[in-house]
Amino acid sequence: MAAKRIDGKVISAYIKERAAKEAAQVAQILGRKPCLAVIIVGENPASKVYVNNKKKACEACGITSLEYALPELTSERELLDLIGTLNRDDAVDGILCQLPLPGHISEEKVIEAISPEKDVDGFHPVNVGKMLTGGDGFLPCTPAGLIEMLKYENIPIEGKRCVVIGRSNIVGKPAAILMQRENATVTVCHSKTRNLKEILLQADIIVASVGKPHFLTADMVKPGAVVLDVGINRLPDKTLVGDAEFAEVAEVASYITPVPGGVGPMTVAMLMQNTVMAAKRSAALNDS
């Protein structure tokens, strides 16, 4: 029996609807809508698409969206100065700098320059530390979206064996931490892992985030496992595919996320949730 598709569009719409209700309540206290500032440097076409999607989501959720489109040759100092200005602006709740940045700008410096209280991407070391210790910080959007998808579908996480393929700071590592926080037993695999197939065949939940098209095949998946495909790969014919060989893995898994329309929409929805959370914290300060 073919796996059930986990529909990211449906779940993200639910999250955004919830965020919109909370945004309206916060606006009553603050006297303004929650506000997200998005910075994009250069002309990366994929980044422009992402920024546009974020702008549309802000509009749908009752969030003010400020866009700062900077030229490719913007200096690191100019970018850091803009972030400093936005950090000090009480009318801005969240700041997001679209990655990747041009090679002459340090992504690490930029991430660390954003105030942890406005870091709605959840990348600042302070928020990463809070995630690790179970504190109340902002969670990175894509991994947090994976947890929301499982909960929406009532798929149990506690006590399950979860294998994460990939160890990036944006998806792999935080996904492993969040799965642990939900009491899964987690293994992180990567390019140096031996016996990958053997390890994957023990997994109840697989998070595929290697960035290689069709990397995960049916013979690597235990019957009935849940497959969360985070990969977004564009083939030479412009088709978008994930890290899983969808058609064949869907014959073995119990649940699977499609690409496109799976994890992708969740990332933007969780960003909206984080922005509203940042505004709620501002409102609590204003209210006290």
Q: How many other CB atoms are there within 10 angstroms of residue 194's CB atom?
A: 7
Domain that holds residue 159: 141-264
> Residue 207 forms beta bridges with which residues?
164, 228
CATH number for the domain harbouring residue 37 = 3.40.50.10860
Note the pLDDT of residue 226.
Answer: 98
- Rounded CA separation 246/235 (Å): 14
Per annotation, catalytic residue among 93, 118, 119, 121: 121
The yes-or-no answer on residue 21 being catalytic is no
**Closest C-alpha to 22, from 288, 284, 286:** 284
**pLDDT, mean of each 10-residue run, the chain (288 residues):** 93 98 96 97 88 94 97 97 98 96 97 98 97 95 98 98 97 98 98 97 98 97 98 92 97 97 96 98 72
Residue 281 lies in a domain: no
Is 150 among the domain residues? Answer: yes
Residue 112: both structure tokens together:
């660390």
Q: Do 101 and 156 belong to one domain?
A: no
The CA R_g of the chain, rounded to the nearest whole Å, is 19
148 and 107 belong to one structural domain: no
Q: How far apart are CA 221 and CA 203, in angstroms?
A: 8
Total count of domains within the chain: 2
Based on the fold, state whether residues 47 and 96 are members of the same structural domain. Answer: yes
Is 28 catalytic? The answer is: no
Residue 95, phi then psi, degrees to nearest 5 = -125, 130
Asked, for residue 107, whether it belongs to a domain, the answer is yes
Same domain, 96 and 148: no
- Which of 16, 33, 54, 118 is flagged as catalytic? 54
Q: Give the integer Cα–Cα distance in Å for 182 and 156.
A: 9
- Whether 111 and 146 map to the same domain: the answer is no
Whether 121 is catalytic: yes
| pTM reported for the whole predicted model | 0.95
The catalytic position among 16, 33, 93, 98 is 98
Q: Which tokens sit at 99?
A: 């990655």
24 lies in some domain: no
